Structure 1
């Protein structure tokens, strides 16, 4: 479910591709549908660098290999932050040809480091332009979703306590010791939630808010899985805390088998909009193949596969979503935002300040 399922899917995909189960087509199929005019015909291999939560249906990946004649392998160095760090550290000897999974909290860092080759694709769905990382086309938006506080409805009903609704509510004494979050230095959702508070209270005003959360007993863990499955009471019912930082799509995964209402929901006034991108890696000799893979990620079939595989929203607004999403996984109408260039300039400063305040 959510990030845990995505990791398992990635391992399965990597095993398939590394085992050589690709179907190789004719050489002409490797030519790009669109790219730079001087791009050469793509060779038969393509290496995709991703975060460790990437997952797509195996039949779609097999069809891509068959249609293009490409043998695709995956390299997953870690989560979104680790991914960008590794791209920068290996700039002079790239890990692969194309990257997927750079999100808007790290996009400016990747762009400024010069690890990407801009690609303007005609495959970008209408309406997805709003998620562009820059004007040069350095990164192509693929999916998006909201990181929000999730609530265990049943816990609050049993306790006879009204649920919180806003970020400010979480600092009230009746919610003391009820919230678990993830460390922004080690967790992508944790960083997104920190950015939500920056967007809500300002680049120089969020610190006081986190001091109030600390004083109100917020618990910090390193990773999403521990927060959601160990400390949160709403998923497997074992944790003591009924509030957790997760995704707006998480409640859709909690719908009981056979239907019904999930015991969890997302507090849509606490959200940060996360966008995930793909990009051509600078220095690749497989530019045409890398562009082909990005176009594949934007195809209607892959866009429709993303919700079920990665629990993110496709950037194509025309894609039909799973039935449960309309009711149980709505996006926030007014998510908090922070300009990518501001994130790039101050992200590390904010993480250090957060650590000083919350961890000590």
Structure 2
């Protein structure tokens, strides 16, 4: 079919006037499934989009366990391209369900080698933190009572009715703390410890916010001066204070295998339609730009050893030299039984 010169000229002009689409404007999109606590600064998110060359959708899917369950249920037709936030308490479940493809991202050589626990690189460590007891320094000084120095102190009479913990069946730090007690006291001793803790008036709540912001004396009108939180929580207390104190109002208990090292991983979901974009995203997650954004966004430590820490972390956040730990396969094989035993002894 022939067209007139006039019409052809109009079409040519319209074509030349059209913008050349590059980067995110191409219309491609990368979806990251993660937990509700995921956070990234606006400027780093823009850098992320540029590095990947696509728009990025953050699919927050509940706590870490809930998000992983959704990923497992949808693995044949995944809701996302990349999963961020499976930790070492659920790592075994993720790998058993064959959710991820192997990929060695750029920057993996700068990762703390103690965090590299999957030799096949299906799950790559992105950050870590120590779950431990936090205590209200001012409260203990006012009562002229020494704060706890280890887990075993919690069952002493002078600490009766002072501790609040999270239910390990509904809370990620709660589960990490349960694993700390299993690591510390062993299969034959952890239930006895928890029974003694129950007799000493421990309070159990569903989640971290309810315990920290609802019951912990240093952060609420509650009456519990001991709470399960993170070894970086004192840094958060200082960072968010209207008038920055020189010392944190909260202390931590990390000695004698009292803290559990929680590692967060990311991986590329099998059957993703955008594996090429997901690989670029994995590279960015290990970059200094993202790694140095982690501490003040999610208040955990970056996995990249070359990432600089903010001053508030250097002064007030801590990690233990001797964390409580359990092999991922042992956790995977026994998690459900441990949770069942804990529930039977603590909640019934």
Q: Whole-Å Cα distance in 2 between the matches of residues 115 and 245 of structure 1?
A: 31
Stretch of structure 1 that moved more, 178-187 or 328-337: 328-337
Partner of residue 30, structure 2: 46
Partner of residue 169, structure 2: 185
* Residue number among 279, 297, 302 corresponding to 2:267 in the alignment: 279
User: How is 1:179-258 mapped onto 2 (pairs within 5 angstroms)?
Assistant: 179-236=163-220, 238-255=221-238, 256=241, 257-258=243-244
Return the offset for 1:179. Answer: 0.2
The alignment status of 1:26 with 2:26, answered yes or no, reads no
Partner of residue 268, structure 1: 254
Q: Whole-Å Cα distance in 1 between the matches of residues 246 and 58 of structure 2?
A: 38
Query: Number of residue pairs matched?
Result: 324
Structure 1 unaligned spans of 5+: 1-23, 31-41
User: How is 1:169-184 mapped onto 2 (pairs within 5 angstroms)?
Assistant: 169-184=153-168
* Residue number among 112, 115, 119 corresponding to 1:131 in the alignment: 115
User: How is 1:279-358 mapped onto 2 (pairs within 5 angstroms)?
Assistant: 279-358=267-346
Q: Whole-Å Cα distance in 2 between the matches of residues 110 and 218 of structure 1?
A: 32
> Any conservation in 1 of the 2:127–2:301 contact (CA below 8 Å)?
yes
> Any conservation in 2 of the 1:99–1:281 contact (CA below 8 Å)?
yes
Q: Whole-Å Cα distance in 2 between the matches of residues 313 and 25 of structure 1?
A: 38
Q: Whole-Å Cα distance in 1 between the matches of residues 282 and 21 of structure 2?
A: 19
Q: Whole-Å Cα distance in 2 between the matches of residues 99 and 86 of structure 1?
A: 11
Partner of residue 69, structure 1: 53
Q: Whole-Å Cα distance in 1 between the matches of residues 341 and 69 of structure 2?
A: 20
Partner of residue 144, structure 2: 160
Structure 2 unaligned spans of 5+: 1-19
Q: Whole-Å Cα distance in 2 between the matches of residues 161 and 265 of structure 1?
A: 14
Return the offset for 1:43. Answer: 7.8
Q: Whole-Å Cα distance in 2 between the matches of residues 339 and 149 of structure 1?
A: 22
SS in 1 for 2:140: helix
Return the offset for 1:128. Answer: 2.4
Return the offset for 1:245. Answer: 0.2
CA distances 1:296-348 after superposition (whole Å, capped 9, x unpaired):
11100111010000001001122221212223211011110011110111111
Return the offset for 1:56. Answer: 0.7
Q: Whole-Å Cα distance in 1 between the matches of residues 214 and 326 of structure 2?
A: 30
SS in 2 for 1:230: coil
Q: Whole-Å Cα distance in 1 between the matches of residues 119 and 327 of structure 2?
A: 14
Return the offset for 1:125. Answer: 4.3
Q: Whole-Å Cα distance in 2 between the matches of residues 83 and 265 of structure 1?
A: 31
> Any conservation in 2 of the 1:25–1:66 contact (CA below 8 Å)?
no
Structure 1 stretches of 4+ moved >6 Å: none
Distance 1:155 1:287, change over 3 A: same
Give the TM-score taking structure 1 as reference length: 0.87
Indicate the RMSD between aligned Cα atoms, in angstroms.
1.7
The alignment status of 1:142 with 2:126, answered yes or no, reads yes
Q: Whole-Å Cα distance in 2 between the matches of residues 80 and 67 of structure 1?
A: 26
CA distances 1:194-244 after superposition (whole Å, capped 9, x unpaired):
0100110113321111111111110000010010011000124x1100000
Give the TM-score taking structure 2 as reference length: 0.89
